[in-house]
Structure 1
Amino acid sequence: MDNKLAFAAALRAVRATKGLTQEMVARFTSRPYVGRLEKGESSPSLDKLQALSEAMDVSPLTLLALSMAMQDDQPLAAITSRLKQELAAFEKAGGMKVLREQVINGELIPRPTGLPVNADNLAEVQRHKQAGYTQTETADRLGLSTSTVHDLWRREK
């Protein structure tokens, strides 16, 4: 099932079980927008998801879990079990530390620009450079593009 349709069904179901009208849910947004969501014509932004959830007094995760249950045609227990497993694995891998490191003093830290360098390719290109090979020879020997070799040729380890 399409994710917009699954979200529409979840939104309608939560609103209906809470006895809310579209107007009541739309207090943080517009009624036409809620209508478009409920028809499966739009997807909410994170801010709108939060606003809709607050208006219906449910967690945004509830709306997402219900949407996933519809989309994947799975029981809620399977969705919540998977969520628990994924969060436990994330935490075990040190994800919470990494997550907290992303924000300092309320500011998202800037990411380094560009693509990360493949350390193995860099080392091999530098080794070929020291051995006296040309960039073209290095590219042929390593199976890399000449532009990649050219970029790595100028870098230091």
Structure 2
Amino acid sequence: MTLADYSFGAFAFLNTARLLGYFPQIVRVHRDSNGAKAVSVFTWLLFSAANIATVSYAMIVSHDAAMATIFALNTLGCLTIVGLTMWRRAGIRKTGADDGASNERIFGASTEKVPLRAKSQGPQILAEMADWLVVGLLRRSARSHRRRIPSAWTHEH
């Protein structure tokens, strides 16, 4: 094999494996009760734009449907994270309660605290699907690791 073959193999493998890398981020966004403040929407939009540019290149210049498909799926993963993050932030904004701190600075305003309301759970169906997928991948990974364990160890675990 040539260096170009190894390079293409690494490129194909890593960009396909990258599809699995979105699921931990999706699960983290779903479970974050603070509106996913640590997620940079700009960064994920930039990743999406780069993936779209690569899809365009793959279709127009190299006529490579497999490459276009992989990068289209990567775009979908990035935009899913953007959408979930925005959904979480919108849900927090709509249901977030005022803790009364801002009213203390207004002359004559009440300092009574407003009770908290229930926070949005975000897109529950997508979150359950992501949880199901992550758990399934972890189970498959555990099964594949058990097969590699020497038989003398299997009765202990």
Q: TM-score, structure 1 length as denominator? A: 0.20
Structure number with larger C-alpha Rg:
1
Query: How high is the TM-score relative to the length of structure 2?
Result: 0.20
Q: Which has the higher contact order (CA 8 A, sep 6+)?
A: 2
